[in-house]
Amino acid sequence: MMVPAFGTEIVAHRGASFDAPENTLASVNLAWQQKADAVEIDIYLTADGKIVAIHDKTTKRTGGGKDKPVVEQTLAELKQLDFGTWKSPKYAGERIPTLDEILKTIPEGKRLFIEIKTEAEILPELKRVLTETGRPPAQTPLICFSYDAIRAAKELLPDLKAYWLVKLEKDKDTGRLNHTAAELIAKVKAAKLDGLDLGNSPPLTPEFVREIKQAGLGLYVWTVNDADKADEYRTLGIDGITTDRPELLRERFQGKAKP
Ligand code: G3P
Ligand code: CA
């Protein structure tokens, strides 16, 4: 299951976040309408131990200006905030969604990439919510920047795919990347993860992609809003491309198979 119609998965970053307020039901549902293969969301724990979708640690930027950490607010408090107006008056009154509310929207054959923004303290509740929904494990891959947290997630939920998020950076003096492909591959294998989800800036080179794919790992990339670049990655055989603009990429990929 879960093989997208045209090979490389189009993953809607925080939902269809170019058009709608990120990490809301509006952006998630718009992504499904725009024919994304998957949606990516970010998750945090609330003060009363519930899981909500939001990118930042606090509600300042997207929650109407309240500069308070999510973890210090209960779900009921968070639900009173407006997560839509910052994007457009059209979305005024949009509420913060729980993970559970988002899971209920996933159409058959589509997936939800869940980015863990905390350390491992969220995992027991994550396991509880995922178990309760009864979704097939293949439908909810996990991603995380924290190596320790993604390793712990894979140990607790071994049936789920788990990808380590890494931001590649070039040293401005030497021009060398902060990680070699070989280093990343070794760390992914040591933690029994399924692969990597890498930043697109600087762009991944064909050699870097080839090395990771030849190691038998899954490879995703974020965030690609340029259709030409996305098409280039598609031809390199990258498994999924995370984008704010799923509609744009869908138009470009129409009828094209993964090489
Ligand atoms: O899909 C991975 C990507 O979302 C990681 O960066 O800051 O958008 O969560 P960020
Ligand atoms: Ca994210």
DSSP string, 11-80: EEETTTTTTS-TTSHHHHHHHHHTT-SEEEEEEEE-TTS-EEE-SSSEETTTTTSEEEEGGGS-HHHHTT
> What CA–CA distance (Å, rounded) separates 29 from 55?
17
Summarize pLDDT for 192-239 with one digit per residue, the tens.
999 999 999 999 999 999 999 999 999 999 999 999 999 999 999 999
In ligand 1, the atom with minimum distance to the C-alpha of 40 is: 1
Q: What spacing in Å lies between the alpha carbon of 104 and ligand 2's midpoint?
A: 19
Whether 13 is in the pocket of ligand 1, judged by its Cβ within 6 Å, is yes
H or E element that contains 219: strand 218-222
- Taking 50 as the threshold, does the pLDDT of residue 6 lie above it? no
Among protein residues, the one whose CA lies closest to atom 3 of ligand 1: 222
Q: Among 169, 223, 242, say which to mutate for ligand 1: greatest number of ligand atoms within 8 Å of CB.
A: 223
Q: What is the SS3 assignment for 243?
A: strand
Q: What is the mean pLDDT of residues 69-82?
A: 98
Whether 44 is in the pocket of ligand 1, judged by its Cβ within 6 Å, is no
Banded model confidence at residue 46, pLDDT cuts 50, 70, 90: very high
> What CA–CA distance (Å, rounded) separates 36 from 18?
13
Whether 126 is in the pocket of ligand 1, judged by its Cβ within 6 Å, is no
> What CA–CA distance (Å, rounded) separates 164 from 104?
25
Q: What spacing in Å lies between the alpha carbon of 56 and ligand 1's midpoint?
A: 11
In ligand 1, the atom with minimum distance to the C-alpha of 42 is: 9
- Taking 70 as the threshold, does the pLDDT of residue 164 lie above it? yes
- The reported pTM is 0.96
Report the percentage of the chain scoring pLDDT > 70: 97
> What CA–CA distance (Å, rounded) separates 70 from 80?
13
**Amino acid, single-letter form, for residue 219:** L
Q: What spacing in Å lies between the alpha carbon of 252 and ligand 1's midpoint?
A: 23
| Residue ranges of domains in the chain | 9-253
Among protein residues, the one whose CA lies closest to atom 2 of ligand 1: 222
Copy the structure tokens of residue 220. Answer: 């995703």
Copy the structure tokens of residue 29. Answer: 């549902």
How would you classify the pairing of strands 218-222 and 195-199? parallel
Question: How much is the mean pLDDT over the chain?
Answer: 95
Which whole-number Å values give the CA distances from 175 to 168, 170, 178, 184, in the listed order? 12, 5, 9, 18
Q: What is the SS3 assignment for 162?
A: strand
Q: Among 61, 114, 115, 197, say which to mutate for ligand 1: greatest number of ligand atoms within 8 Å of CB.
A: 115
Pick the more confident residue, 172 or 7: 172
Q: What spacing in Å lies between the alpha carbon of 92 and ligand 2's midpoint?
A: 23
In ligand 1, the atom with minimum distance to the C-alpha of 11 is: 1
CA dihedral for 46, 126, 168, 12, sign (positive or negative):
negative
Summarize pLDDT for 101-134 with one digit per residue, the tens.
999 999 999 999 999 999 999 999 999 999 999 9
pLDDT for residue 257? 63
Whether 166 is in the pocket of ligand 1, judged by its Cβ within 6 Å, is no
Banded model confidence at residue 258, pLDDT cuts 50, 70, 90: low
**9-253: CATH class:** alpha beta
In ligand 1, the atom with minimum distance to the C-alpha of 242 is: 1
